[in-house]
Amino acid sequence: MVTVKQLKNLDSKKIYSLKKQIGKLAQLTEAKYYKCNIYNSFIIITRTGILNYFGEAQKAQIYGKKGIDYKEYKTATAAAKYINSLS
């Protein structure tokens, strides 16, 4: 579970992964998220964006389609709500 306080204190130089346990051995990357200083927003790369761009979050944001490959949120509360709905 990701809180609003954690999102506000994200390091803008790191990309964080939301992993999901599948069975006993495998893990699935459900989403990747980071804080973008250029747009002053929170970028969340969806599962479709991860698969289309081989796990590279920056390429998914640059070349991907907004709403399909990535989602952009201006507030931390909206981003936290979406991230917690994935888990």
> What value, to the nearest 5°, has the Cα angle with vertex 36 and ends 74 and 16?
105
Structural domain count of the chain: 1
pLDDT score, position 73 = 96
pLDDT at 55: 87
What domain range includes position 54? Answer: 4-86
Helices (H), 1-87: 4-8, 47-52, 57-63, 76-86
pLDDT of residue 61: 92
Instruction: Give me the residue label for tokens 């306080």.
Output: 5
| 87 has pLDDT over 80 | no
The model's confidence at residue 1, banded by pLDDT at 50, 70 and 90, is: confident
In angstroms, what CA-CA distances link 78 with 2, 25, 27, 34, 55? 11, 32, 26, 14, 23
pLDDT in tens, 40-75: 999 999 999 999 999 899 999 999 999 999 999 999
